[in-house]
Amino acid sequence: MTAPAMVEPHLIADGDFTTFVSGNDDAAKAQVMSLLGSLGAPYFTRKVAR
């Protein structure tokens, strides 16, 4: 995701998109989702069985 899209998510498909958040650090993912949410960007995450 480019910096302009991060701060103005409506630039991508009028804001109708999903950002997939993945990784093995739950605290880091929570921080990323919080930042995305504060900017108005939609996100998606799900737990995957290991």
List the chain domain ranges: 3-43
Taking the C-alpha atoms of residue 35 and residue 3, their distance in angstroms, rounded to an integer, is 13
DSSP 22: -
Question: What mean pLDDT comes out for the span 26-40?
Answer: 85
pTM of the model: 0.62
User: Strand locations in the chain, DSSP E?
Assistant: 19-20, 43-44
Mean of the per-residue pLDDT values of the chain: 78
Q: In 3-state terms, the chain is what percent helix, strand and coil (to 5)?
A: 50, 10, 40
Residue 27 is predicted with a pLDDT of: 93
